[in-house]
Amino acid sequence: MEEKKVMLSGIQPSGDLHLGNYLGPLRHWPEMIEEFDCYFFLADLHTITVRQDPAQLRRRVLTQVAQYIACGLDPEKCTLFIQSHVPAHAQLGWVLDCYTMFGELSRMTQFKDKAAKQKENINAGLFTYPALMAADILLYQPDFVPVGEDQKQHVEICRDIAERFNGIYGEVFKIPAPHIPKVGARIMSLNDPSSKMSKSNLEGCVTLMDKPEDILRKFKRAVTDSDTERCVRFAPQEKPGVSNLIQIYAAVTGKSFEEIEEAFAGKGYGAFKPAVGEAVVETLRPIREETERLLADKAYLEGVYKAGAERASRVAEKTLRKVYKKVGFVPRG
């Protein structure tokens, strides 16, 4: 039997999942688990580089485990786990800290951005974050790591670290390729179509747990464009607001842009906005209901992430043992 290629992806549970996450990568994961041997984990160790409220962090991680399953990630068919449950991440993270250069880390754009945003808390973890992320990846020897544009630099430094390590000790790590998913729409904020949908602007953001009335309100208030033609036409440069709504509508209904333009010809924005809102409500309804059902079933959820952590640990520990041996640590026996 041909071995499936290995794919790994980590998600930081630092905000509530929203429509942008869903229509971007998340929606395509169920297809990926058919094709690849997939590891998905909640990167909780990474979140504490920014101060978190403990109760909220705990609730978010559990909610997101439930949401991934509700979005169609069958935990029998992939390895779904919580990063802090697999100690090998922190252990390999430390080793890789020692093979990652101060200069390289200083050049990371995400570090520079985040440091500028939180001047009062430029902690060492924020700085060494890429080495931990490299450990996350390399432990599982994946063939590729699907990431957004903003994480590409992190996958590149991971490859550099892996190549450096392999250069000294031989072929320990597989060199992973970044994989910028071609499918998946880039969804913009509903009230500011010049920036990506993000939970830092709540009125422009539809979370997966929003109530239908909130979703409808947000779509009704969505910013459209101040052009004179006021017709539903896809033109991202001229008409970013309407084009964003068309993208969303296309993604949730499966209709093409042309079909949408035709259906709303002569109807203006007033009819279009609530139609998009309603279509989104119907897409998200089963996900929200299933998430709530799973969250009420603590025993099931615990079973899922426990089994996930066990499966992940077996693979991760094998890599870690190899690394420890290569660097010269005495085996505990």
Binding site for ligand TRP (CB under 6 A): 8-10, 12, 43, 46, 133, 136-137, 145, 147, 151, 154
**Is the dihedral angle over the CA atoms 188, 189, 195, 199 positive or is it negative?**
negative
The total of other beta-carbon atoms located within 10 Å of residue 158's CB is 25
* 199 classed as catalytic: yes
Chain centroid to CA 333: how far? 38
Least CB distance to ligand TRP at residue 267 (A) = 39
> d(Cα 54, Cα 56) in Å, to the nearest integer?
5
Chain centroid to CA 285: how far? 21
* 326 classed as catalytic: no
Least CB distance to ligand TRP at residue 133 (A) = 4
Residue nearest to ligand TRP (CB): 10
Give me the torsion for CA of 310, 316, 322, 328, rounded to 10°.
-90
Residue whose CB is less far from ligand TRP, 50 or 202: 50
Residue whose CB is less far from ligand TRP, 8 or 251: 8
Which residue among the candidates 196, 255, 322, 326 is catalytic per the annotation?
Answer: 196
Least CB distance to ligand TRP at residue 233 (A) = 34
* 196 classed as catalytic: yes
Least CB distance to ligand TRP at residue 145 (A) = 5
Least CB distance to ligand TRP at residue 57 (A) = 15
> d(Cα 208, Cα 281) in Å, to the nearest integer?
10
Residue whose CB is less far from ligand TRP, 9 or 79: 9
Q: How far is CA 179 from CA 9, 98, 107, 142, in A?
A: 11, 27, 22, 11
What tokens were used for 251? 């993604």
Residue whose CB is less far from ligand TRP, 8 or 280: 8
Residue whose CB is less far from ligand TRP, 152 or 255: 152
CB 244 within 8 A of CB 187: yes
Which residue among the candidates 152, 199, 322, 326 is catalytic per the annotation?
Answer: 199
Which residue among the candidates 4, 5, 77, 114 is catalytic per the annotation?
Answer: 114
Q: How far is CA 223 from CA 203, 243, 270, in A?
A: 11, 11, 11
At a CB cut-off of 8 Å and minimum separation 6, what does 38 contact? 6, 7, 8, 9, 29, 32, 77, 78, 79
Residues designated catalytic: 114, 196, 199
